[in-house]
């Protein structure tokens, strides 16, 4: 099993929203980078399997796990059992929890903390909001309240009201617009969770597209979540739209494509581009997903080591190398055509900077060159590195690993930058430009693993 001490931490304080409304921070004000993994059906695994999974994800640099509290079968509507055959309820009206089932979830919650991981629990799936309980308005509230009360003293627990809330509609495949009545049904569950939680157990809701469309102004919604999985091409422009929405709330890409999922042809490279596109467009983090792992199908143990799972840490490391709360997406950094988001040939370049301009990041998914407005960088001189999202190392213009910047340039006019050869699918790069008076040698970036 892979081992790492670089990212391991059991310092799990409550998270809260930063003063500017765009990030999450710990209680002491330090920035928190969300690097999530999707483990919807973790409750079906034995204690030994849970330990193996969580230890692996900690070693790979993840900070958050997203998991269901309960699940119903999408065809039979029966509630799934845990690994030893326990169902979650002894009664649905009134809602009575089966302690044996929830004691196993308690174990998962506490084991996540032991591994330094935050845990997002999903109350139910959207299709269950109307059909799980006999009296949904009352029972959903009672269930949410009971669940949130159970874990309100766990600072590392966060809540997602439900998953793919639009699936409350039976015709969701052709119509994703929920009705006012359906919105109120979902609110009942959210209000129960909100009443039962400690105020710093943050809450969101998981959509098919974006939570902002139906719930942005809800007082219980602490941050927006988006999904780009299954779409013809990930429309990262929606991240920017939510970033600019008022009142300001943080935004997260909480479900991208799943690595190696046959239905959407998603190699590691595609997960990297969705991650960098999302974060550089204003998201405060990114949730990865691996085929076979999310539902713990046969072969999930081998799928833990899909290439993308090990490469996501480099996105976190890059952002934590400059741990400021004011990373601002800035398309104006690029003075050349940014390219296309098409699934067939995604060439879209995206850029982000610190508010004071001391550092700029530009991501190019296929290694094609671009032109930069150098005046966006503070100071009179700037140093530059090529950062490799595949291995977390820095390179010079000839493609050789280096612990020094490859050049120093005046912060005037525009300049063309071309990544090391070759270019094409899988040859993604990040250009790092930093004020020379603030600059660190590349070897001091926490990028090596």
Residue position matching structure tokens 């409304």? 21
pLDDT of residue 445: 56
pLDDT band (50, 70, 90) for residue 233? low
pLDDT of residue 438: 81
pLDDT of residue 144: 98
Contact 328, 215 (CB under 8 A): no
Average pLDDT for residues 4-19, to the nearest whole number? Answer: 71
pLDDT of residue 232: 54
CA-closest candidate to residue 202, choices 190, 212, 184 = 190
SS3 content of the chain, % helix, strand, coil (to 5): 30, 20, 50
pLDDT band (50, 70, 90) for residue 77? confident
pLDDT above 50 for 272 = yes
pLDDT above 60 for 286 = yes
191 backbone dihedrals φ, ψ, rounded to 5°: -65, -35
CA 242 to chain centre: 15
pLDDT above 90 for 447 = no
Contact 351, 329 (CB under 8 A): yes
Rounded CA-CA distance 203/193 in Å is 8
Most confident of 46-55, 73-82, 222-231, 334-343: 46-55
User: What is the overall mean pLDDT for the chain?
Assistant: 93
pLDDT of residue 9: 46
pLDDT of residue 80: 97
pLDDT of residue 2: 32
145-167 residue pLDDT tens: 999 999 999 999 999 999 999 99
160-191 residue pLDDT tens: 999 999 999 999 999 989 999 999 999 999 99
| Low-confidence winner among 7-16, 275-284, 285-294, 407-416 (lowest mean pLDDT) | 7-16
pLDDT band (50, 70, 90) for residue 449? very low
Q: Where are the domains of the chain?
A: 15-320, 327-444
Residue 188: CB atoms within 10 Å: 19
Residue 422: CB atoms within 10 Å: 10
pLDDT band (50, 70, 90) for residue 229? confident
pLDDT band (50, 70, 90) for residue 235? confident
Homologous superfamily (CATH) of 15-320 is Glycosidases (3.20.20.80)
291-315 residue pLDDT tens: 999 999 999 999 999 999 999 999 9
pLDDT of residue 358: 94
User: For domain 327-444, is the CATH number 2.40.50?
Assistant: no
Burial of 389 (0-12, 13-18, 19+ CB in 10 A): buried
pLDDT above 70 for 34 = yes
Per-residue DSSP letters for 410-426? ESSSEEEE-PSS--STT
388-422 residue pLDDT tens: 999 999 999 999 999 999 999 999 999 999 999 99
pLDDT above 90 for 15 = yes
324-346 residue pLDDT tens: 678 999 999 999 999 999 878 89
pLDDT of residue 3: 34
Rounded CA-CA distance 194/159 in Å is 9
Torsion of CA 156, 159, 164, 169, to 10 degrees: 170
Contact 125, 68 (CB under 8 A): yes
Average pLDDT for residues 359-384, to the nearest whole number? Answer: 97
């Amino acid at each position: 099993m892979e081992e790492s001490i670089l990212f391991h931490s059991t310092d799990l304080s409550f998270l809260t929203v930063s003063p500017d409304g765009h990030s999450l921070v710990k209680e002491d004000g330090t920035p928190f980078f969300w690097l999530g993994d999707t483990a919807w059906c973790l409750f079906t695994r034995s204690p030994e399997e849970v330990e193996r999974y969580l230890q692996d994800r900690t070693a790979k640099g993840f900070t958050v796990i997203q998991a269901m509290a309960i699940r119903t079968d999408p065809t039979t509507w029966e509630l799934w059992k845990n690994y030893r055959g326990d169902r979650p309820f002894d009664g649905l009206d009134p809602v009575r929890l089966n302690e044996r089932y929830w004691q196993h979830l308690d174990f998962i919650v506490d084991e996540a903390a032991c591994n330094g991981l935050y845990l997002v629990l999903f109350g139910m799936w959207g299709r269950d909001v109307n059909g799980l309980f006999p009296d949904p308005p009352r029972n959903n509230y009672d269930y949410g309240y009971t669940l949130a009360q159970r874990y309100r003293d766990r600072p590392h627990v966060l809540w997602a009201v439900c998953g793919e809330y639009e699936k409350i509609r039976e015709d969701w495949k052709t119509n994703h617009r929920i009705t006012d009545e359906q919105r109120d049904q979902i609110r009942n569950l959210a209000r129960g969770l909100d009443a039962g939680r400690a105020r710093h157990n943050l809450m969101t809701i998981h959509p098919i597209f974006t939570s902002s469309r139906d719930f942005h102004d809800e007082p219980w919604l602490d941050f927006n979540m988006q999904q780009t999985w299954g779409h013809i091409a990930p429309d990262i422009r929606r991240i920017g739209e939510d970033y600019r929405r008022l009142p300001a709330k943080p935004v997260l890409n909480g479900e991208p494509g799943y690595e190696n999922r046959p239905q959407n042809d998603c190699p590691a490279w595609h997960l990297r581009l969705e991650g960098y596109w999302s974060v550089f467009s204003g998201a405060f983090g990114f949730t990865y997903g691996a085929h076979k792992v999310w539902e713990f199908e046969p072969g999930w143990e081998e799928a833990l080591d899909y290439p993308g799972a090990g490469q996501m840490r480099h996105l976190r490391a890059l952002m934590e190398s400059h741990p400021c709360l004011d990373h601002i997406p800035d398309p104006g950094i690029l003075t050349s055509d940014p390219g296309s988001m098409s699934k067939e040939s995604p060439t879209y370049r995206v850029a982000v900077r610190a508010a004071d301009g001391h550092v700029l990041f530009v991501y190019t998914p296929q290694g094609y060159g671009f032109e930069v407005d150098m005046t966006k960088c503070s100071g009179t001189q700037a140093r530059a590195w090529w950062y490799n999202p595949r291995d977390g190392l820095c390179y010079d213009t000839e493609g050789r690993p280096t612990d020094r910047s490859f050049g120093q340039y005046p912060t005037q006019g525009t300049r063309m930058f071309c990544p090391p050869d070759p270019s094409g699918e899988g040859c993604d790069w990040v250009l790092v430009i930093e004020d020379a008076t603030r600059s660190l040698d590349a070897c001091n970036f926490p990028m090596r693993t």
